[in-house]
């Protein structure tokens, strides 16, 4: 049984990845993972492949055992794995709830790592892993610092994993978008700490670019020439200068 697995599939980029993978690959099933089962069920009417809703909260470590048990029971061939589940908080580190910030690490880094580790034994030659990183992966970001650090982990992990898995014929790509207007902002933004957003892309624009880069087997996908130029600048300029510029943009 050939399948794709998409986490964070109930909304935003995860949902758009389901649609794109469904049209790009010939699959028996797409396993869609998120907490909201009713949102997952809606995908069936929009896809050719059979949709298998897997209602899990990946911020909870117990969910790993449930996913592992499902893999062992079904013994699928995973052609594509997309780790799109994630969360963040914008604000001052010391003024935000500690448990909520630890949840960012649990979901963005720990769960992504666990899902990769459990899935790889079921991935054949010429399969793909797509991990959702961020434009925040490239530098420290004050007032989004836990989120940014978690995405820096995703970038580093993905690029190194891609080297390790190359001999197995498994391609790994990190997607590093700039600002995307999705439900993420409804949960991440709770005050006006972050005021300046230079430009927004849609989730579909980012996913469409990611799928093009997937065909080329790139290790990193970045949507938008301005974002790519920003990444180049960040690599060349001193870190302190980058952080000061960011803080000035936010009125800090």
| pLDDT tens, the chain, 252 aa long | 999 999 999 988 999 999 999 999 999 999 999 998 888 999 999 999 999 999 999 999 999 999 999 999 999 999 999 999 999 999 999 999 999 999 999 999 999 999 999 999 999 999 999 999 999 999 999 999 999 999 999 999 999 999 999 999 999 999 999 888 766 655 656 666 776 567 788 999 999 999 999 999 999 999 988 888 889 988 899 999 999 998 998 887
Q: Mind telling me the catalytic residues?
A: 147
Q: Give residue 30's pLDDT.
A: 98
| Residue 85: CB atoms within 10 Å | 26
pLDDT tens, position by position, 228-245: 888 998 889 999 999 999
pTM: 0.93
What is the torsional sign of CA 189, 192, 193, 195?
Answer: positive
- pLDDT recorded at residue 195: 67
Contact indicator for 190, 148 with CB cutoff of 8 Å: no
What was the pLDDT predicted at 123?
98
Q: What is the pLDDT of residue 238?
A: 94
Q: Is-contact 22 44, C-beta < 8 A?
A: no
User: Tokens standing for 3?
Assistant: 């399948």
Do residues 201 and 225 touch, judged by C-beta distance below 8 A?
no
Q: How many CB atoms lie within 10 A of CB 229?
A: 11
* Angle, helices 12-24/203-215, rounded to nearest 10 degrees: 40
> CA-to-CA distance for 16 and 207, rounded, in angstroms?
7
Strand order in the sheet with 2-7: 50-55, 29-34, 2-7, 77-83, 127-132, 170-175, 220-221
* Residue 188 token pair: 């991440």
Give the relative orientation of helices 145-165 and 112-119 as an angle to the nearest 10 degrees.
Answer: 20
- Triad 141, 83, 27: Cα angle to 5°: 155
Signed CA dihedral, 194, 195, 198, 199: sign only = positive
What is the distance between the alpha carbons of residues 226 and 198, in angstroms, rounded to a whole number? 10
What pLDDT shows up at residue 179?
83
3-state secondary structure of 232: helix
**DSSP summary character for residue 231:** H
């Amino acid at each position: 049984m050939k399948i794709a697995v998409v986490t964070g599939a109930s909304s935003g980029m995860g949902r758009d990845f389901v649609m794109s993978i469904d049209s790009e690959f010939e699959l028996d099933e797409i396993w869609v993972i998120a907490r909201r089962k009713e949102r997952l069920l809606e995908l069936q009417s929009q896809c050719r492949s059979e949709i298998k809703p897997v209602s899990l909260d990946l911020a909870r470590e117990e969910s790993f055992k449930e996913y592992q048990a499902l893999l062992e029971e079904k013994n699928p061939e995973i052609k594509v794995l997309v780790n799109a589940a994630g969360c963040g908080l914008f604000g001052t580190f010391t003024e935000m709830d500690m448990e909520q910030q630890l949840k960012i690490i649990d979901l963005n880094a720990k769960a992504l790592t666990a899902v990769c580790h459990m899935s790889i034994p079921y991935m054949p030659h010429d399969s793909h892993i797509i991990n959702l990183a961020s434009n925040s992966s490239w530098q420290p970001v004050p007032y989004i610092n836990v989120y940014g650090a978690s995405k820096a982990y995703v970038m580093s992990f993905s690029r190194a994993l891609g080297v390790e898995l190359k001999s197995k014929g498994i391609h790994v790509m990190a997607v590093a978008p700039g600002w995307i207007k999705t439900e993420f902002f409804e949960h991440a933004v709770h005050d006006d700490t972050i005021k300046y957003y230079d430009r927004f892309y849609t989730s579909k624009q980012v996913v469409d670019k990611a799928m093009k880069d997937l065909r080329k087997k790139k290790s990193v996908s970045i949507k938008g020439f301005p974002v790519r130029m920003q990444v180049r600048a960040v690599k060349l300029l001193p870190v302190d200068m980058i952080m000061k510029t960011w803080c000035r943009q936010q009125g800090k």
